Structure 1
């Protein structure tokens, strides 16, 4: 009868087992709380089988195990009761954490992608602005050079008349050399070796004043006749040949006012023109061109030294 009563009084919960073991050892709730470093209220909740909703089940199970070791109760006896009192739900927590982490990562990646595109657009805009500024500066420099050259041409400072002496007439027969005025004659020599950088000059035909400085520059006279077999290929015609060693703008007119060429020639180009002599030449970069008329070089050293636009007339005496 007494054994059945004791069995009926045996605790059936985790808190009841722990409280009974504590009382058997003569410990108070305060002493248990101090040894486990817990609050007294937490010890009371464990003994009363009260689960704090703010306390994770993992921590609750840990407190129960520590309490059981303190009162010398085997954990195996409490495992079935602990499973009912503090069940573990790891799957739901893992899914919620995974969803939250995925959402956070997606938001961070979206922000990073937007920032990257913003930086890219800024770099493209700065590059375009830099290129446009340089382009405007170059155009302004060219305009200034053109204005300066045009002003000099209007003053008539750069116009010269080049007269070539030729011992062969248009049909290839030798002719006598004509006398020239030695007061203004300058022999035609090979182009000067000094090079001056030149900038292509835009089209200025029709805007040059009629005032020109005419200076006769014949080639050195010679008394020897030239046999037809030794005359250069271009000496028997009115062909004017120009070889370009750099980019150069020029215009060429013949005696009838016909425009033979107007535009830009580039480094390595060769230009052969035929018309009625004398020829009128406007050369933007004299240092970038070598002119030959009827096989003889035309001296442009004067314009090269002064770094001026060359305007000259080329004819044969």
Structure 2
């Protein structure tokens, strides 16, 4: 059968033959659908239909299109050369366009000064600045070392008088008996130790510490009719296994109670009647998500095979809405 197809394709290599008709006949002979060819060749259905209808205008350039034809012929087990000959008749030949540029001799007079002069001048200025800074610092420290320390008049008044100003002449001794003079001489020869009294220590009085009083922040009052609303961070916390979201109801419609129980990791998104996304989180295995809001409510569940949904305490069958393990619902 393949040999007969190859013979027919070689006979149809004339310019009057249609490339798409031959490909379609070979595909139908192989009992292949357009989707089968698209999946095997990794081409879109639009490109396969263009090849079989000789609509080469929507196909890429000639080189890529010839590759499509070769792959298609290999899939159908036919000779691709007759098909390529037919394609060359319909497809315009590739023409290489050369670009010629006329060269012109343009004299450019350079008025720029050499760059190295700027670097040399900059280096000299930096060296001079560093030298001036070193000289100034050295002179400043030298002047500080030679400057005498000035003593105020009050300090000089408190200084004790110099011992050199006191006369070293011996005081006249009082005539004493011989025994008393020897005792006085022995006492004068012994060193005299003068005990200086320590300055009085003032008692330390501890001041009582006053505890710091934190400012009292008034707590805003919550209206009696308002329902508690969980923050977005609380609804998206992966650490909680049970999560409840209560949406404030402003309409007269009754509140719809939704409970989603999962036995495998599942992603869920809930959008209320005001088109606000009140839940968007990934529920771990064994987790529960509760929502109370006014209908209509849009629910999207990923990995729906591992989830069970109850609406107003009644089981809800997800299988009719399950497409590729994703469920999209509008609960009213």
Q: TM-score, normalization: structure 2?
A: 0.28
Q: TM-score, normalization: structure 1?
A: 0.29
